[in-house]
Structures are given as C-alpha cells and as structure tokens.
Chains A and B, each alone.
Chain A
Amino acid sequence: MQDSLQSSYRQLEQKSKYTNIFLRWFLYLVLILFASYFIFPLYVMIVTSLKTMEEIRQGTLLTWPSSLNFDSWAVAWGGRGYGAGDTFLKPYFWNSIKMVVPAVFFSTFIGAMAGYVLTKWRFKGDKWVFLFLLFGCFIPYQAILLPMARTLGVLGISNSVIGLVLVHTVYGIPFTTLFFRNFYVSVPTELVKAARIDGAGFFKIFFKILLPISAPIIVVTVIWQFTQIWNDFLFGSTFSFGEAAPIQVALNNMVLSSTSVKEYNVDMASAIIAGIPTLIVYVLAGKYFIRGLTSGAVKG
C-alpha cells in the first residue's frame, strides 16, 4: 500500500517534470520568436545599409551583404559633393545637438527647482499648481501649434535652432517637474527642516542637501528629455525648414526626396545615423531609460 502510493506519487512527479520541460521549451520558443520579430527591422536596416543597390535588387531583405561596404554611410553623412540638391545629414546632426543640449539643460534645471519647491517648500494650493503643470504632459501639441508658430514669428526666432530650444524647454517642463517632484517626495523632509533650523537658506539646502543625492533622477530626466527632443518630428517639421531643420526632419526629407532611383541603402544608413545617439544611450543606460518610461510614463 505504502509502496504503491509512493510509486504513483513518483509517477506524478515524473509527469509534471515532463510537462515542465515542455512548458519551458514553449516559453523560450515564444520569447525567441518575439525577439526575432523585434530585432528583424534593425537587422534589415543594418544589412541593407551595407549592400550595394545591385545586391539589394538581386537578394532579399535577409541576404547577408557580400562585403562590408560603407559607401552609403559616407553618402548619407557627407553627401556626394555635387552641390545643389545634394542633401546629407551632417549639418542637421549638428543642428540637433545644438538644439538638444541647451533644451535638456534648461528644462531639467527648471523642473528640478519646481520639484524642489513643490515638495520641500510647500505652500497653500501647491497640489493644484502641480496638477496645473502635470496637465501639460498630456495636451496634444496640435492644440498649441498655431499660436506657437505665430509667437516664434513675432519673437523673430521662427525657423531657427533657438526657437526649437525654446519650444522643447517649455514643453519639457511638465515632464521634468513630474520626475523631480516624485523623487523629492520620497526624500525625508526632516533633513530639510533640520537644515532650516540651522539657518540654511533656500538655495543652500538645495545645493548642499538635495542636489548631491539627485544623481539618479538627473540621469533619468536627462535621458528622457534627450530621447524625446532628439526624436521629435512634429515641432521640428512645423517650426523649421531648410538649414535650421533638426535631424529627424532632414532624414524624412532625404527619404521622401524623389530622385530618379530610390537608394534604399542610403536611406537605411541615414535612418541608422539618426537613430544611433538614442540607441547608444539606451544600451548604456537602459535601466534609467526604463525608469523614466515607467515612472513618469505619459508620453509615447
């Protein structure tokens, strides 16, 4: 009796072991299938950018290039050197950098200050002020495009990098405030109170107590703002054209410009160049990227 019970138990265990093994294989299979679906476009982009047009016409999306040919990368970055009508990414890449660096700096700074006040120097109605700012994360920008275009015109900075810096700084503030506010909320207020009793002022408390522990949230905010601004197309394409355009706009123009022959390899090289900065940041600091995405996630 005892024996048979034990053996049936063992049988059951054996059986569940097999189902388990089967389940795990199934698990990995699904995960790998999805991984290939996600990696597929990136693979196609890289491979295509290394092929010649001849190879592209003969092979398929997946065919490996016969040799590592970086010509289309050179064309995408620096053009062919025949002057008029020769669009390439280099100047626009620099436009984007000139736009991103100040815009990220200003929006992060203003957001840090706002988050600091909203949590450590609370005043009557501060919750409403936060809500007032937070709503700015969600507005569809179409509702502000027309007046913004006019305002930039009045200020004389339409179609300029400075104009885009202003736009990105302003519309970044709701996000940066949200990040810093949520971070500073968890910093014990006793620290600040003690410092106040010791006679430390508003700025001293910020720079001596909060700023030194803010490194993680600064990284999250900077990465978030950098990715958003670098990848922006709506503002770039509405408020700038020609020489002041940021890289995403230039990429789109390059791909759409209908020259006689469509050069997919140059298109793909251009797309990779436009995507590489954010991709590098993502690979190096993915943890912070995801934190920004999930904690303050309100925008796509």
Chain B
Amino acid sequence: MAFFLIKKKVLTMFKWLEKNLPKIVMAPAVGLIGWFVYGFVLWTLYISFTNSKILPKYELWGFGQYEKLWASRKWLISVDNLLIFTALFLVFCIVIGIILAIFLDQKIRSEGLLRTIYLYPMALSFIVTGTAWKWILNPTLGIQKLFIDWGFENFTFDWLVNREMAIYTIVIAGVWQSAGFVMALFLAGLRSVEDEIVKAAKIDGAGIFTVYWKILLPMMRPVFFTSFVILVHISIKSYDLIVALTQGGPGISTTMPALYMTQTAFHKSQVGLSAASAMMMFMAVAAVIIPYLYSELRRENAR
C-alpha cells in the first residue's frame, strides 16, 4: 500500500517535471541574467547613493556622489570628449559606410575581396588596433616622418601628444575600426531591396543618383536607425581604444566616461563616485536602447 502511494507520488512528480521541463531548462539563463545583470545594476545604483570609499557602505547618503560627479572637472571633460567623439564617429562611420556600400553595390569586380578588407578591423581587438595606430601616429617615427621623407619638410603631425587634438586620433582609429561594419549593414539593406523597384524607377527615366538619393536611401531608414543605435552604444562604451592609444592623456585631455569610471573605482578607490558615473553611463545607454528595443518589438509584432 505504502509502496503504491510512493509510486503515485513519484509519478505525479515526474508529470510535474515533464510539464515544467522547458521552464526548468530556461531557469539558469534567467537566473544568471537576473542576478548578474539586473541585481548588479541595482546594487551599483544603491551604492551610488552611499558615501562608499574603498569598501562599500550601506547607509544612504542621498545625491552627494552625483553632485560631486558633476562638479568634477575630469568628469566634465570626459563628457565633452564623449560628445565630440560620438558626433564625429557617427558622421564619419555612416558617411563612409554608405559610400562604400553604394559603390560596392555596382557589380564590382572582386567585391568579396574588397568587402573582406573593409571589414577585417572588426575582427581585431581595440588593443591590437590601438597599438598599431599609436605607432603610426607617433610624432617621431610615424606618419610625420613619412611625409618629411616624401619632401614635405615642415610637415608636423603631433595630434597624439597634443592636448587639443589627441581626441581626434581616437576618432581616426575608431572610424577605421567601425566604418566597415556600417558598410556591411547598408550593403545587406540595399541587397534586400527588390530589383523591380529600381528597374521601375529607371524605366521612368530616373538616373542612378536619383535612384539612390530619392528611392533607396530613404528606404534604408531602419538601417540608419540600427547603425545610429549601435554606433552610439559603441562610443559610450569606448574604453579599450583609449587605454591603448592615449591612456586618457596627454594629461586628462582624452578621458571618457568609461575610463573615468574604472579609474575612479580601481585606482582612486572612490567606489560611490564611480558607481554614480556608471549609472550616468547606464542611463545614457538606456535612453538610446529602450526606444530601439521598443520599435524593434513593434516591428516584429506587426509582421
């Protein structure tokens, strides 16, 4: 009798297991992300409201860290730099990406090879490419020497060690790394347009420029949107490239928020302040990403 009961219990347990197996399998992913992403962000948020120095303290302290942050010259410089970098990075990547995509779309010979060349920087780390650019841009033996040897005797190119210009060297390297990616997005977008539309326009007498300017590029709106979101996202997070190229220097002239955060946390041991800067970054990313996810989801639902 007892055996029978146990058997029944085990059976219902198996039934339950079988019914809920998908959810059980799903649990590790949800649990890990819940803890390591959402839990951690909340922890950082909480700490940003405390007066934590080397070790976290848990008494609330109000908005003190945020006030300190926005009064800090270094933070203001890093926000300025981020704005300059993002603007230039966006414009150059998108313009170069579109030009390359449109040109490659003209039934070019050895298109595959060219595409491979334009996109290979994406496979390399920012540390590797940053190391290369640092050597190329160095004022003594780099580009400057190349031009002097070519006969431009007064040519100087010292942006890397120039406080005013160093931020633009990061733009140069950043654009070089990511423009090919925008090209790939636009090329995929252009290729997905049906031939009929282009043919119809051509029969109506539209030249190749009109076709692109008036018809195809306006159709690429979602691609513009995606590129914009991804590039802004890359630029807010940019850290490795700066470390490899300038370490935020000369002085603090090329500091950016991501670098500010890690330096404040791990070199200066100002945990509360660095948590506040991390939350500012988080909010900046969220401001771009949430509308993006919302629109993507709506598009998917509309399908």
User: Which A residues have a C-beta under 8 Å from some C-beta of B?
Assistant: 24, 27-28, 30-31, 34-35, 37-42, 44-45, 48, 56-57, 60-62, 110-111, 113-114, 116-118, 121, 123, 127, 129, 131-136, 138-148, 150, 170-171, 173-174, 177, 201-202, 227, 230-234, 237-238, 248, 251-252, 255-256, 264, 267-268, 270-272, 274-275, 278-279, 281-283, 286, 289-290, 293-294, 297-300
Contacts and interface: CB of A to CB of B under 8 A. Distances in A.
A47 to B, nearest CB: 11
A79 to B, nearest CB: 18
Given A275-B125, A279-B124, A299-B233, A143 B281 contact: yes
A170 B127 contact: no
A233 B114 contact: no
Contacts of A293: 122, 181, 184
Contacts of B43: 146-147
30 contacts: A34-B118, A37-B176, A38-B117, A38-B121, A41-B136, A123-B23, A127-B297, A129-B30, A138-B285, A140-B284, A142-B237, A145-B265, A146-B271, A202-B25, A231-B127, A232-B125, A248-B127, A252-B127, A252-B131, A267-B131, A278-B123, A282-B123, A286-B116, A286-B119, A293-B122, A293-B184, A297-B230, A298-B230, A299-B230, A300-B178
A300 B122 CA distance: 8
Contact of A279 (B123, B178, B247, B289): B123
Interface string B27-54: 0111011101101110110010000000
Interface in B264-303: 265-266, 271, 274-275, 277-279, 281-282, 284-285, 289, 293, 297
Nearest to B113: A35
A138 B233 contact: yes
A102 to B, nearest CB: 15
Contact of A278 (B118, B124, B181, B293): B124
Nearest to B292: A138
Nearest to B288: A138
Contacts of A283: 116, 120
Given A27-B103, A60-B149, A61-B146, A267 B135 contact: yes
A109 to B, nearest CB: 10
A117 B22 contact: yes
B176 A38 contact: yes
Contacts of A201: 18, 21
B244 A139 contact: no
Contacts of B40: 143-144, 147-148
Nearest to B100: A34
A294 B188 contact: yes
B77 interface: no
Interface in B243-277: 243-244, 247, 257-258, 261-262, 265-266, 271, 274-275, 277
A112 B96 CA distance: 36
Contacts of B74: none
Contacts of B120: 38, 42, 279, 282-283
Nearest to B296: A134
- Chain B interface extent, by class: 35 or more
A142 B117 contact: no
Contacts of B18: 201-202
A235 B106 CA distance: 42
Which 5 A-B residue pairs are closest in the complex by CB-CB distance?
Answer: A231-B125, A300-B234, A121-B22, A282-B123, A144-B40
A123 B180 CA distance: 40
A31 B178 contact: no
Contacts of B106: 24, 27
B143 interface: yes
Given A234-B258, A298-B233, 9 more contacts: A44-B135, A60-B146, A121-B22, A145-B278, A201-B18, A202-B18, A233-B126, A267-B135, A282-B122
Contact of B124 (A141, A231, A294): A231
Contacts of B119: 282, 286, 290
A61 B142 contact: yes
Given A114-B26, A255-B134, A140 B37 contact: no
A42 B176 CA distance: 12
A99 B214 CA distance: 50
Contact of B136 (A61, A123, A129, A270): A61
B132 A300 contact: no
A108 B56 CA distance: 34
Given A140-B278, A268-B135, A297-B226, A234 B239 contact: yes
A173 B41 CA distance: 17
B125 A233 contact: yes
B33 A133 contact: yes
Contacts of B136: 40-41, 44, 61
Contacts of A27: 103, 106, 108
A135 B293 contact: yes
A41 B133 contact: yes
B36 A171 contact: yes
